[in-house]
Amino acid sequence: MIARRLTIIALALALFAAQMIAPGTVSAQSETSEQGTRVYRSLIRFITETDYPPFDYLDEDGTLTGFNVDMARAICVELDVTCDIRPRVWNQLVPALKRGETDAVIASMAISPKLLAEVDFTDRYYFTPGRFAVRKGTFPNLEVTPIGLESRRVGVIRGTAHEAYIKDFFRDCIVDVFETVEAARDALMDGKVEALFDDAISMALWMNGTNSKACCEFRGGPFNEPLYFGDGVGIAIRKGDRELKRLLDAAIRRVRESGRLEEIFVKYFPNKAY
């Protein structure tokens, strides 16, 4: 009888504890590993760099800020843990992770076979698609499809995935290949090409800046074929840290589903890259 009462009390306490976890949140303290052990985390240590605005940089007050910093904080909110975010130079990020000096690297690291040999990655939290840009007020009915761009002049930068993609899938357009991104953008601004196909994020930054003279805008949606544009950007963690990967993957998913990820993107990229 005593044993039975103890069992009932234990079940009641477990139910009470479960109810105390807010619906829709991920609890870092209550995550269960594949081995059935409990993972208790009150802190996640992130490192990032400081010279890649608007992703990671120091503001006028010397405070670490940027898209990746806000993303790390949003993840910590979802996990209900304390965030510790510290700066490192780029070439010290992976070594510091491997030495155990941090839990994760959130620094716009592209998921690649080379890095996967050294670290593991979470699910991607953003990718860098290709997009078309045109001059504002021009070609209002232009559709950026293989048929819509037939016989149109499209600029690309030599040696990029965007050049390869255009030549493989938009074979009936006139491809103008430029040696530098500056030359390609100048050609678009001057009307020498009717569209430019390039990296969406870098173009969004350019269009939001003063150098573009507010000349241009995106046309059509993003192109994100992994064979050409990669598998996206993830958070790097130590090899074999499956428990942390599971926690971070769940938090990334919640940040995306809640709309918070979109809010962070709009904050740093008013001219949406996606």
Q: Which residues pair with 154 in a beta bridge?
A: 175, 195
- For the ranges 5-9, 27-31, 231-235, the lowest mean pLDDT is seen at 5-9
Nearest alpha-carbon partner for 156 in 141, 137, 170:
170
Is pLDDT above 90 for 7? no
Flag whether 4 is in a domain. no
What is the pLDDT averaged over residues 87-103?
A: 96
Residue 29, pLDDT score:
52
pTM beyond 0.75, yes or no = no
Alpha carbons within 13 A on the beta-carbon side of 72? 28
Residues 100 and 184 in one domain: no
Query: In terms of domains, do 173 and 248 share one?
Result: no
Q: Same domain for 161 and 69?
A: no
Verify that 138 and 186 share a domain, yes or no. Answer: yes
Residue 12, domain member (yes or no): no
**For the chain, percent of residues with pLDDT exceeding 90:** 71
- For residues 211 and 236, state if they share a domain: no
User: For the segment 209-231, what is each residue's pLDDT rounded down to a tens digit?
Assistant: 899 999 999 999 899 888 898 89
Is 115 part of any domain? yes
Instruction: Note whether 187 and 155 are within 8 A (CB).
Output: yes
Q: Are 261 and 78 in contact (CB under 8 A)?
A: no
Please give the Cα distance from 108 to 91 (Å, whole number). 13
Lowest mean pLDDT among 5-19, 20-34, 156-170: 5-19
Domain that holds residue 46: 24-127+231-268
Domain annotation covers residue 14: no
Statement: residue 252 has pLDDT above 90? yes
CA distance 38 to 32: 5
Over the stretch 52-82, which tens digit does the pLDDT of each residue have?
889 999 999 999 999 999 999 999 999 999 9
Q: For residue 139, tell me if it sits in a domain.
A: yes
What would the mean pLDDT of 169-190 be, rounded to a whole number?
A: 97
Same domain, 40 and 87: yes
As for how many domains the chain has, the answer is: 2
At a CB cut-off of 8 Å and minimum separation 6, what does 251 contact? 26, 74, 75, 78, 79
- Is residue 18 assigned to a domain? no
Give the 3-state secondary structure of residue 254: helix
Query: Cα–Cα distance between 175 and 196 in angstroms, integer?
Result: 10
H-assigned helices in 83-197:
93-98, 113-116, 161-169, 181-189
Identify the CATH number of the domain in which residue 254 sits: 3.40.190.10
At 256, list the tokens: 């995306």
Confidence at residue 123, expressed as pLDDT on a 0 to 100 scale: 97
CB 93 within 8 A of CB 106: no
Is the per-residue pLDDT at 45 higher than 90? yes
CA distance 203 to 39: 42
Quick: pLDDT tens for 117-169: 999 999 999 988 999 999 999 988 899 999 999 999 999 999 999 999 999 99
**pLDDT at 24 > cutoff 50:** no
Together in a domain, 96 and 158 = no
- Among 5-14, 92-101, 128-137, 159-168, name the one with the lowest average pLDDT: 5-14
- Distance between CA atoms of residues 217 and 32, nearest Å: 47
Count Cα neighbours of 43 within 13 Å in the Cβ-side half-sphere.
Answer: 5
The whole-angstrom separation of Cα 260 and Cα 151 is 41
Distance CA 29, CA 247 (A): 10
Predicted local confidence at residue 128, as pLDDT: 87
- 3-state helix, strand, coil split of the chain in percent (to 5) is 35, 25, 40
